[in-house]
Structure 1
């Protein structure tokens, strides 16, 4: 189902979708009101959602669809407009799964790449179950990974954590807002963050996250020193690494596991530089990025956490870490920040 108020863009999207034999257009509407009125009858597998709509905007339309007829939603947005970026990020928080760049004319140099990304996201997100399979309950809280444990070095009592690395993909923005937003303003560690998202949206994502969490958030710059109490977001289409003396490195080396930035690249650099003083957290996401890097961190003696299936929008990346026994703890989203804080300031023994 296509929701787009501009006739020109709507026709362009219809053309793009029509070229992909794996996609079938069941409806194309011009407003959020029309989408809400017809979604039950059309029963789409996935919705392409414009964010700047007359009347009910794309954010409110997303909220209502997720409340009344939960359906995977891909936001199609103009990446250069600040207001559109803010609405897009809030739509992700409201339940949309991903955001892609709005196409321009077929004669534009980047048209084929944008068109291909739109179709890819629609096909992938159509397969994502957006209804929780089980409620979050205490029977799932704190369950640790099964399988043979990886060879690890137990952290020494003097190994005070020095850096927190977090990574996410599909469903990541609201999950990151929840975890990072639960950290206090005086959080002592630098937070290095990888979120899989189109390069055009990374500045907007960082600005949005900066507005919803207590810690200052910015896009990481090559050569800057990571400071405690600040969040550094990997820039679009570049890897983020922790270098010596807490200096950040931004790399344009090849994608790892098809991803750039890659969570595994970040986690492996933290394993090298911080060893047992690192904390690694792997949240919701499709694929397996981050699992091998988290395993390296655990082997180095770091504190490692994967999000539990009960709260993950897509249990791909955390599941891969669980299979490798890369996570010391597997926790629902609401318990991760508390676990991180206890890792920094352990409760004294009675």
Structure 2
């Protein structure tokens, strides 16, 4: 597994944006938003993916605003080509709906795009919506894009040599932000259909995309996936996804608890809120913190570890953004740091060992 950084922070000048959008109305809106924001500068705006592919090597934009429904080549294939030939931060600008465009958007995130924002309907754009788009473009322009080549075989072999924790987990908490859909699809896709524990999942994403994200994630894995509902009982081998703009926590009696209390550290759902609720399970909980900006999840993961649970942070070598897992490492919240490709095999090995211990214990109690 290798990676090479190809962009860096540019605090001294505005971020140069290439807009790829076939709708003249939406393209006009995006250009206006970029020109009105001192953090951004328009590199160019084009109507097709083919034009974008010709321009990217010459313009070297700091970030690309990418539509997914384009004439000719679509935004997914354009993302794949750009990430393979000239890796550049890409923000997907998409309709927030359950139509095929949303599925293409999620697949573009898996292919290397960094985030997805809701497409503006027209001008003028509401202050909050316009600021959200411009801010995402600026923030993502600062992300060092890493070209990753994930190899399941060697990763699984390496994971097989890892020491296994002496605990009997009952549930898994997992959280991610920037780069999360790609990381989560990789982990979930590698877990067996017999995976025995419920997974509670926080992914930072725009509110309009959470239902579609959960539906898309369900196509990437043998496990069942749904947006969490209040009071819902945890189910073995089921992924409970935090709803939009709502904290997801473990409630009493192994059930889902949702909360609309204010954001924690600027995040709702909050990884810290999820992990803190799992900490009371002690050795019954596994906490996993994946790629993402900021520090959400670090202190909550430390609570899980202090309580006797097992905690995993994604290693720097595969994190698209090492902010969240890096913060966990710095404060001693991680029992172990693993490259992305080793996380699912390690979880599967823990599950197998736990099952073997349970069978051995049951046999020992027989008369």
Query: Given the alignment of the two structures, is residue 62 of structure 1 paired with residue 79 of structure 2, yes or no?
Result: yes
Aligned length: 330
Alignment of 1:73-222 (within 5 A): 73-107=90-124, 111-132=126-147, 159-222=167-230
Q: Pick closer, same or farther for the CA change 1:343–1:81 going to 2, 3 Å.
A: closer
Please point out which of 18, 34, 41 is paired with 2:58: 41
Kindly state the Cα deviation for residue 107 of structure 1 after the two structures are TM-superposed: 4.8
Q: Are the aligned partners of 2:201 and 2:242 in contact in 1 as well (CA < 8 Å)?
A: yes
Gaps of 5+ in 2: 1-17, 160-164, 358-367
Deviation of 1:341 (Å): 2.2
Q: Deviations over 1:303-328 (max 9, x none)?
A: 10000000000010000000011010
Alignment match, 2:162: none
Match among 307, 314, 317 for residue 307 of structure 1: 314
Deviation at 1:116, TM superposition (A): 0.7
Tell me the TM-score normalised to structure 2 length. 0.86
1:224 matched residue in structure 2? 232
Residues 314, 339 of structure 2: 8 Å contact kept: yes
In 2, the alpha carbon distance for the partners of 1:333 and 1:286 equals 17
Can you list the C-alpha shifts for 1:119-145, whole angstroms capped at 9, x where unaligned? 11111111111135999999xx78xxx
Name the structure 1 match of 2:3.
none
Return the alpha-carbon distance in structure 2 between the equivalents of residues 129 and 277 of structure 1. Answer: 36
Deviation (angstroms), 1:250: 1.0
Q: Secondary structure at the match of 1:44?
A: coil
2:10 aligns with none
Q: Match of 1:24, SS?
A: strand
What SS does the corresponding residue of 1:212 show, helix, strand or coil? coil
Indicate whether 1:341 and 2:341 are aligned.
no
Is the 1:102–1:114 Cα contact (8 Å) retained in structure 2? Answer: no
Q: Secondary structure at the match of 1:245?
A: coil
Structure 1 unpaired stretches of 5+: 143-154
How many angstroms does 1:297 deviate by? Answer: 0.1
1:112 to partner: Cα distance = 1.7
Q: Which of 14, 39, 58 pairs up with 2:31?
A: 14
Q: CA RMSD in A?
A: 2.0
Pairwise mapping of residues 231-242 of structure 1 onto structure 2 (< 5 A)?
A: 231-242=239-250
Match of 1:23 in 2: 40
Shift in CA distance, 107/118, structure 1 to aligned 2, threshold 3 Å: closer
TM superposition score normalised by structure 1: 0.90
How far apart in 1 are the matches of 2:325 and 2:313? 5
In structure 1, distance between residues paired with 2:150 and 2:255: 41
Residues of 2 paired with 1:241 and 1:342: CA distance?
Answer: 26
Pairing 1:270–2:278 present? yes
Once structures 1 and 2 are overlaid, which stretch shifts more, 321-330 or 98-107? 98-107
What is the alpha-carbon distance in structure 2 between the residues aligned to residue 133 and residue 78 of structure 1? 28
User: Using the alignment, how far apart are the partners of 2:258 and 2:333 within structure 1?
Assistant: 25
Is this contact kept in 2: 1:135–1:310, CA < 8 A? no
Equivalent residues of 2:65, 2:92 under 8 A apart: yes
CA distance in 2, matches of 1:79, 1:131: 27
1:52 counterpart (50, 53, 69): 69
Instruction: Give distance in 1, aligned partners of 2:110 and 2:23.
Output: 25
User: What is the rounded CA distance, in whole Å, between the counterparts of 2:149 and 2:98 in structure 1?
Assistant: 38
